[in-house]
Structure 1
Amino acid sequence: MFSFKLKENGTNAKTEIVAGITTFLTMVYIVVINPAILHDAGVPFNAVFMATIIATVIGTLWMALCANYPIAIAPGMGLNAYFAYSVVGSHGNISYTTAFSAVFVAGIIFIILSLTPFRKKLIEAIPENLKHGITAGIGLFIAFVGLKQTGIIIGDKENLVKLGDLHNPLTILALIGLAITLILMARKINGALFIGMLVTGIIAVITGRLKFENGFVARPSLPHFMIENPFSAFGDVIQHSLYAVVFSFLLVTIFDTTGTMVGVAEQAGLMKGKTLPRARQALLSDSIATTIGAIFGTSPTSAFIESTSGVAAGGRTGLTTLIVAVLFIVSSFFSPLVSVVSGLSAITAPALIIVGSLMIGSVAHIKWNEFDEAFPAFLIILSMPLTSSIATGIALGFISYPLLKVVRGKWRDVHALVYIFAVLFILQLGFVPH
């Protein structure tokens, strides 16, 4: 039997089980949200539902058994919206299977980087303000998607967007769901997002907006292979020039996962100074989950910040995440329930808005009093929602940052990798169709 070293970490089995249940309840919303978002890109619901669970279980089990950390892995918010609303259908009429090729390639590169010191160099090379700008920009992007899905805002020829019809029954339901979830969040109730969707779903059933004609439980369906030939995935990326997309998936996943892991480990008291023990094993959990997830049909995975709820409940070892993985396996039997709920945006969109609000908090760490640091971050934050592209936001940030540093005579402060990325992004924007 695998030893989680419970005594050495000052915990016990009962505490770890409760922590695992707590973490699961705070992040189980992803089995509803992720299929809802990727289905908008044409991906079959059952494929995404099973792929979400497979990627989550594999990544979380690896974290539990190999890294022994209470950190859960699942498809990340933001990148799933980018996949569905920016990559699929973009230049060259990209299909979702081709987009999964980009995710697969990013996952393979992530695995290689996780096994080499280059990952650390890449993280250190990226300016902190660009990291904060990217996180905030993704938050604004997914909140914008949520507001559009609820009908709170709608398209407008003159002003791009305007206030929607607040008398629309579905918009009213979404606003009620948003209000309920916000109250739960403000009261710091574990699983607030999931409970908010549950209560909104009950209201939808009472008002006749939601009907469960196929029941609640069904035997899990066999997973589909979105990528049957790994070599063809690389060919798809080259054929459609998806280099910026791959880089965006890779870059966001690397520093998002690393930042989350360090943050959760610090809260749990598992850091050794500034070093994260077993960092390689921990990062491999995410990179392997991303790669396998792409094969079955889901967007990149990431370490979930919701793991902090389990840590707050006393979770200190991989037993916590083992419980999370087991509960996600159990959730695979509820596809009829999730299918109906995820099909009603009034239930799922409030979670996007709230997660977006949490992510945009990164703006507090940007050095706004230094123009050469602030403007590239601002450009990222502004361009991501307005262009509906995380890749474009990252590109503009990486181009403007070294440019302003050179003008101010601070060119030595910029890492050589940033200059290389800037040149590559200029070539991408200037010569590759969008």
Structure 2
Amino acid sequence: MERFFHLRELGTTVKTEVLAGITTFLTMVYIIIVNPAILSAAGVPFEQVFTATIVAAVIGTLIMGIFAKYPIAIAPGMGMNAYFASVVATHGVSYQVVFGTVFVAGVIFLLLTLTKFRETLIQSIPNSLKYGITSGIGLFIAFIGLRMAEIVVANPENLVTLGDLSNPVTLLSILGLFITLLLMARKIKGALFLGMLVTAVIGYFMGLLHFDGVVSAPPSIVLFDLDIAGVFTHALYTVVFAFLLVTIFDTTGTMIGIAEQAGLMKDGKFPRAKPALMADAVATTVGATMGTSPSSAYVESSSGVAAGGRSGLTAVVVAVLFIGALFFSPVVAAISALPAITAPVLIIVGCFMMEGLAKISWKDFDEAFPAFAIILTMPLTSSIATGIAVGFIMYPIIKLVSGKGKEVHPILYTFGVIFAIQMAFFPAH
């Protein structure tokens, strides 16, 4: 196992990788509850989505761990599930037809992955944008953690404001944050996971963590009834394009950010890119046949990287735990229902991901502002894809007017135009 995953070369151990896998799983397991809840509102059977979500996560994450050997987890993405539900509502079509659009997008996704397109895309992204993406994701997931803990809440006058700190869940989140920070400051291995464990125990005695059973039989696994013909009958081409475009850039940006955080990028390049990019493409295609929205790389994987995960073994552990979740859905539901357990981890990891800011040349405005735009946009729009789009639009424009247009890779000009059109005429959210 050590030799297969090159653990010694990466400066990690089996124990560290297992702890990192558990940490990643606990920070992203909410998807097996949230995804069925969102898609069932569009008429899809809850248990069908529950099973499909886990199967897609297991397939994608195993491909990532075994073939690409990265500590990155794959699962149906947040945002795309909400878009799925909105398509059903606004286009007046059945969810089977919308699953058809997901399948078509997935097949195109696979074909693009078999070419060098996505690899070329990653290599064409300048370092300032890569660091901006990493830092933007950091702020984004920290903001998610703050919202989950209700440390910040919605406010009609200025969008957000400080929440009620006497709220039991908020209080537990803050306590969990300080406990985890204490463990981190003492440089205790597995501090993030131990912090969640201690927070869960405290939550149980506070009466906030409730278990309705432990083990349950997994729902049956069946293939879904897709309506691919309906995609063309209803001319849902823009929906296919939106699924494809957002998934490509969401997952590519996340992979770059996490690989950069883990120190796995080599001279600005992403080794073993093809199998890594194949993971989410296969998960999206298979997931559509079983009843779930497109899959993508999960930003929560950064919590596992922060816990020391550096190899594909971390991803394999995540996949195994997702399989286990099929049988322990009551326990998983209880833990994921208490945001105070995972929110502190997301806040702390957000700090770790800001390291790349020091590597951006802030004195060069044509490099600095596009990165700044990404960092600003991601948390404020709650969308990694939107942040990337803004950066891709800004970078070539500013370079061009600065007289440095030749420094920009042609693919950035192409996608700058595509993103501008996509955001103006058929935004995905």
TM range (shorter): 0.7 to 0.9
Query: Structure 1: how far apart are the matches of 2:209 and 2:65?
Result: 37
Greater mean alpha carbon deviation, residues 195-204 or residues 48-57: 48-57
Structure 2 residue aligned with 1:153: 152
1:180/1:63 Cα in 2 relative to 1: closer, same or farther (>3 Å)? same
Question: Residue deviations 1:214-258, cap 9 Å, x none?
Answer: 311112222466773456568889355463553232123235436
Q: Tell me the CA shift for residue 8 of structure 1.
A: 11
Aligned to 2:111: 112
| 1:139 and 2:138 are equivalent in the alignment | yes
Residue in 2 aligned with 1:368?
Answer: 362
Question: 1:382 aligned to 373, 376, 385, which one?
Answer: 376
**How far 1:404 moved relative to its partner?**
0.9
Q: What TM-score results when the alignment is normalised by the length of structure 2? A: 0.78
Match of 1:409 in 2: 403
Contact kept, 8 Å, 1:217 with 1:334, in 2: the verdict is yes
Please give the alpha-carbon distance, in whole angstroms, between the structure 2 residues aligned to 1:367 and 1:355.
23
- Within 2, Cα distance between the matches of 1:137 and 1:86? 22
Give the whole-Å Cα distance in 2 for the aligned partners of 1:31 and 1:48: 16
The corresponding residue for 1:249 is 247
The secondary structure found in structure 1 opposite 2:353 is: helix
CA positional deviation for 1:274: 9.1
* Residues 257-276 of structure 1: pairs in structure 2 closer than 5 A: 257=255, 260=258
Instruction: Return the offset for 1:122.
Output: 1.4
- Listed as ranges, the gaps of 5+ residues in structure 1 are none
In the alignment, what sits opposite 2:169?
170
Match of 1:33 in 2: 30
* 2:298 pairs with 1:300: no
Cα distance change on mapping 1:396 and 1:160 into 2, 3 Å: same
Per-residue deviation, 1:311: 6.3
1:62 aligns with 2:63: yes
Partner Cα separation in structure 2 for residue 197 and residue 5 of structure 1: 27
1:18-417 equivalences under 5 Å are 18=15, 21-30=18-27, 32-38=29-35, 41=38, 49-63=50-64, 67=67, 70-75=69-74, 80-83=77-80, 89=86, 93=90, 107-212=106-211, 214-223=212-221, 228-229=226-227, 238=236, 241=239, 243-244=241-242, 246-257=244-255, 260=258, 279-294=273-288, 295-297=290-292, 300-302=295-297, 304=301, 306=304, 325-417=319-411
Q: Distance in 1 between matches of 2:5 and 2:334?
A: 45
Q: CA deviation at 1:410?
A: 0.8
How many residue pairs are counted as aligned between the two chains? 415
Deviation at 1:166, TM superposition (A): 0.9
Q: Is 2:176–2:195's contact at 8 Å kept on the other side of the alignment? A: yes
Judge conservation of contact 2:147–2:153 (CA < 8 Å) in 1: yes
TM-score w.r.t. structure 1 length?
0.77
1:253-285 Cα deviation digits (max 9, x unpaired) = 235436656886959xxx8x9988765344433
CA distance in 2, matches of 1:90, 1:389: 18
Q: Aligned partner of 1:218: which letter?
A: S
The alpha carbon displacement at 1:346 in A equals 2.5
Paired-residue identity, %: 43
Deviation at 1:203, TM superposition (A): 1.8
Query: Aligned partner of 1:177: which letter?
Result: G
Q: Is the 8 A contact 1:104 1:233 kept in 2?
A: no
Please report how far the alpha carbon of residue 375 of structure 1 lies from its aligned counterpart in structure 2 after TM superposition: 0.8
Q: Which residue of 1 is the match for residue 414 of structure 2?
A: 420
Which deviates the most, 227-236 or 401-410? 227-236
The verdict on how the C-alpha distance between 1:280 and 1:74 changes in structure 2, with shifts beyond 3 A counting, is same
Give distance in 1, aligned partners of 2:268 and 2:425: 42
CA distance change for structure 1 residues 310 and 112 in 2, over 3 Å: closer, same or farther? farther
Q: How many Å separate the matches in 2 of 1:424 and 1:285?
A: 25
**Residue 161 (structure 1) shift:** 1.5
Seen in structure 2, the aligned counterparts of structure 1 residues 405 and 292 have a Cα distance that, compared at 3 Å, is same
How much has 1:31 moved relative to structure 2? 5.2
CA distance in 1, matches of 2:162, 2:87: 27
Unaligned 5+ segments in structure 2 are: none
Does the C-alpha gap of structure 1 residues 40 and 366 become closer, same or farther in structure 2, counting only changes over 3 Å?
Answer: farther
Deviation of 1:380 after TM superposition, in Å, equals: 1.8
